[in-house]
Structure 1
């Protein structure tokens, strides 16, 4: 991305941009849509509140322009955008960027990569607890106890046992 262009940006209501992003996400193009939208705004000082600009971004992503154009008048993503905005307001989002992880952790404002990485690690630890193997026999423990393989008659059977 080019250096940020901030002083030349034309600001406006970004509701349509959020509807565009929701539509792109439904098309499996979330990451690409965010990339082209942020690049258009911060890198090229394009007006992302303008539907024609958003349709050009849809073209850049290989999305159908006509289908994307119908998203705005028919409001099919309006409720989703409204709900996402409400999630952001719960922890009192007052600026951008404002990132909510796992609907539990809010990170306001521009943060350094170490701070974001710390939050991501914490969320990952809480949402995907690790399983540690205890020994070569395959005993392992997780948040719900331990699993120990029993080998009667040469077959493997698993028995849940809390230590």
Structure 2
């Protein structure tokens, strides 16, 4: 079973959705047969490399909402995050374009470290006030993940993996994805948003049953028991 997840490093619901999906996957009996691939998506590709302002100021300006309303949204999302064991600190978030961070995730995927890169970037952004657009931070993170320093630094001197990120975004559009997180199972089932773990569990079970149907091998009925009793 193949599961593709479109998400953005700068999306708070994407981290929450990751945790809820992971909870469902951990309890899934066939989890060892599941391949998870992270796909790139940018909520705001027009964002400059760095934004001179706070997350509250940025969202208030972008959405045209009063600062108090945005602050209330932060409180709600942070509460949901805490329920998943996450400690969001919106007051410390560094607003930056996520494009290069997505390229780092693609590089990590080439080394079998994609999930770890995604996890570290999300946590760094929302829990630790790290600058996901910083060359110093991304290089340090890449090296810490076991990626070659030279390969990581190529992200800042070439356009390596840029087309991979753009291809993911374009593919999202072709699938009708307009928001993240978005989970696609075997290119047949789609789940939008940070659904409860129970919803992911139901989707995993349904997809598995349909791709692995039970085949009845006996040609004739044999003696058996049912709701109305046993055959005699």
CA distance in 2, matches of 1:99, 1:72: 30
Q: Does residue 1:34 correspond to 2:118, yes or no?
A: yes
Q: C-alpha offsets along residues 105-161 of structure 1, whole Å, 9 cap, x if unaligned? A: 3322221111122222333334x32454635xxxxxxxxxxxxxxxxxxxxxxxxxx
Please tell me the root mean square deviation across aligned C-alpha atoms, in Å. Answer: 2.3
Residue matched to 2:139: 55
Residue matched to 2:201: 117
Determine if contact 1:11/1:47 at 8 Å carries over to the other structure. yes
Query: Which structure has the greater CA radius of gyration?
Result: 1
Q: Which has the higher helix share?
A: 2
Distance change in 2, residues 1:3/1:88 (3 Å): same
Runs of 4+ in 1 over 6 A off after TM superposition: none
Query: Which of 173, 190, 193 in structure 2 is aligned with 1:89?
Result: 173
Residue matched to 1:70: 154
The normalised TM-score by structure 1 is 0.69
Residue matched to 1:161: none
CA distance in 1, matches of 2:192, 2:144: 30
CA distance in 2, matches of 1:47, 1:104: 36
Residue matched to 1:79: 163
Task: List runs of 5+ in structure 2 lacking aligned partners.
Answer: 1-84, 219-232
Deviation of the 1:65 alpha carbon: 1.6
Aligned-partner SS, 2:90: coil
Residue matched to 2:212: 129
CA distance in 2, matches of 1:7, 1:98: 26
1:139-150 equivalent positions in 2, closer than 5 A: none
Residue matched to 1:10: 94
Determine if contact 2:89/2:129 at 8 Å carries over to the other structure. yes
Aligned-partner SS, 1:107: strand
Distance change in 2, residues 1:108/1:134 (3 Å): same
Distance change in 2, residues 1:131/1:76 (3 Å): farther
Higher-RCO chain (CA-CA 8 Å, sequence separation at least 6) = 2
The normalised TM-score by structure 2 is 0.51
Q: Which has the higher strand share?
A: 1
Distance change in 2, residues 1:67/1:96 (3 Å): same
